[in-house]
Structure 1
Amino acid sequence: MSSKTVSKALSILDVFTPDRPAWGLRDIARELEISHTIVHRLLKTFEEEGYIFQNPETHKYELGIKFIQLSNTVEERLRISDLINPIMKNISVETGESVVFTVIDNEEGLFVKIVESEHQVRFAESVGKRGPLYIGASHKVILAHLPDEVQDKIINQGFLDHAPQLVSKKSLLETLEFIRQQGWFYTAGETLNDAAAISVPVFDPKKNVLGSISVAGPSYRFTKEQAEKVLPVINKYIDKIDDIFSKVFFPSRRDYLLKNIT
């Protein structure tokens, strides 16, 4: 199998997201601009190996349970639950809100772990959700600590995509500088209309940004004033979190580290 075929096969897997977990063959072909014949052949191969199945009622394709096995393998090797879950639970108990661990992966933000609050109304997002780094506190604190060249690339792509959240590149760059100086950031209504979060960055041993830790909740309850009150709780635990990632390599795709940009 050529590298080009492998790339096409992987691009098919990438279309499956929490927002759109089921796809028809023609929809995939149209989305990726790949011929129906090639898509059909690759889907059948994935189906035979258990990575994808075709729902007999809708006739659409969905991810198979093989990915649960792979996810468990990664989780077991990293021991993320054992290491970071107790800290996230402590933060959640002390703040009364949900706690979210986000990482940078392929120049996007990826929700890796969420500890939900015990409130009936809580932060309503899911593990595995991706988003651009110019939206939301959990993403912006990551973007703020990326090299200038990478920031430009991500922001420029946002404007090319006509992202409605982007109004002015100048104002966004000023916000990112403010985040670097302040060390944290709060947003409301950016990732979700009714959600708010306060976030701080997480770094690896070489002080390269890896992700962020956020406390999040419904914006009517989690105002900026309330968020600032929980900031000391996050800061109390952030050194422990950084220490964990000084001992455990987290395999997110941080392409900026591979481009000799410092």
Structure 2
Amino acid sequence: MEEAKSTVRAVERALDILLCYTDATELTLTEISTRVSLHKSTVYRLLASLEAKGFLIREPEGDKYRLGFSIWELSAHMSQGDDPGMVLLPEMERLRDQVNETISLYVLSGQERVRVQAVQSNHAIRRVAPIGVRMPLYVGASSKILLAFGEAQVQQQVMMDAELAGIHRDTFLHQLHETQKAGYATSVEEREPGAAALSAPVFNRAGKLVAALAVSGPSNRLTLEVMHEQAPVIVEAARRMSTMLR
């Protein structure tokens, strides 16, 4: 039993190391050790195993590791029908051409949201949206969508994070209620100064929330007035995407 627990723990730690690369291309042993809160000697042994299986590659010079070809081999066999980011990409491009702002698709991951697909605006000044970035769920238009139309249990968990961040419980719940009522959400400089976003829900055939579709851009261009004008456009785009997933 003890050996089984130790094996499971090693697997979990190895997966934690791979998840460090959701927002990084290269990481040193020290950086990985800090991120996963493990001693360097433990991390070094795990890195050696991941490197041996091709999941990580160590740079010839220096102490940096990057993702290996085994990751790409696995992803190549992922069904596009199971990947909403690929299925919905044409509609995201169509929406980008309509509103000429950056379009993103977010999914829920624990108590965070992850950008799984993005189409950049053609404006010279725009919101750059790298794929794989993880963000907190207590701020932002997409977070409101994922919480308002998602599981009540997640709302309760995130509410504690919101209160720790100085967001009053009643304010938090009111935002979610207004989001449900309107069918879309907006945010202006909630997470980042100078940025604004508009978001709507995408559902699957069972009527369960799959993702949050978002339009984002500079707040001086994507004002509240502009976002409310664009709301029917993004809501309709999200409805079409929901139909595609069915």
* SS in structure 2 of the partner of residue 74 of structure 1: coil
**Residue in structure 2 matched with residue 5 of structure 1 by the alignment:** 10
Q: Distance in 1 between matches of 2:162 and 2:19?
A: 19
Code of the residue aligned with 2:232 in structure 1: it is P
Distance 1:81 1:170, change over 3 A: closer
Distance 1:37 1:78, change over 3 A: same
Match of 2:159 among 132, 155, 161: 155
Q: Distance in 2 between matches of 1:47 and 1:116?
A: 34
Mean CA deviation greater in 82-91 or 197-206: 82-91
Percent of residue pairs identical = 28
Q: CA deviation at 1:93?
A: 1.0
How does the TM-score come out when normalised to structure 1? 0.82
Gaps of 5+ in 1: 247-262
Code of the residue aligned with 1:54 in structure 2: it is R
- Preserved CA contact (<8 Å) 2:120 2:129: no
**Residue in structure 2 matched with residue 195 of structure 1 by the alignment:** 195
**Residue in structure 2 matched with residue 252 of structure 1 by the alignment:** none
* SS in structure 2 of the partner of residue 119 of structure 1: coil
Q: CA deviation at 1:154?
A: 1.8
1:64 has 2:58 as partner:
no
Q: Aligned pair count?
A: 241
Show CA shifts across 1:63-103 (max 9, x none): 22432333333264536466312211111111121211111
Considering only aligned residues, what root-mean-square deviation do their CA atoms show, in Å?
Answer: 2.2
Q: Distance in 2 between matches of 1:30 and 1:234?
A: 40
1:16 has 2:45 as partner:
no
1:35 has 2:39 as partner:
yes
Distance 1:69 1:121, change over 3 A: farther
- Preserved CA contact (<8 Å) 1:134 1:155: yes
Bigger relative contact order (CA 8 A; separation at least 6): 1
**Residue in structure 1 matched with residue 115 of structure 2 by the alignment:** 111
Distance 1:73 1:107, change over 3 A: farther
Code of the residue aligned with 1:108 in structure 2: it is E
Q: Distance in 2 between matches of 1:129 and 1:226?
A: 26
- Preserved CA contact (<8 Å) 2:80 2:86: no
- Preserved CA contact (<8 Å) 1:200 1:212: yes
Q: Distance in 1 between matches of 2:96 and 2:30?
A: 44
Q: Distance in 2 between matches of 1:209 and 1:71?
A: 24
Q: CA deviation at 1:44?
A: 0.6
- Preserved CA contact (<8 Å) 1:109 1:130: yes
Q: Distance in 1 between matches of 2:36 and 2:217?
A: 36
Q: CA deviation at 1:175?
A: 0.9
Higher helix proportion, which one? 2
Q: CA deviation at 1:218?
A: 1.4
Q: Distance in 1 between matches of 2:87 and 2:73?
A: 20
1:139 has 2:143 as partner:
yes
Code of the residue aligned with 2:148 in structure 1: it is A
Code of the residue aligned with 1:227 in structure 2: it is M
Q: CA deviation at 1:172?
A: 0.8
Q: Distance in 2 between matches of 1:118 and 1:30?
A: 38
Code of the residue aligned with 1:142 in structure 2: it is L
How does the TM-score come out when normalised to structure 2? 0.87
- Preserved CA contact (<8 Å) 1:75 1:81: no
Q: Distance in 2 between matches of 1:239 and 1:154?
A: 27
**Residue in structure 2 matched with residue 255 of structure 1 by the alignment:** none
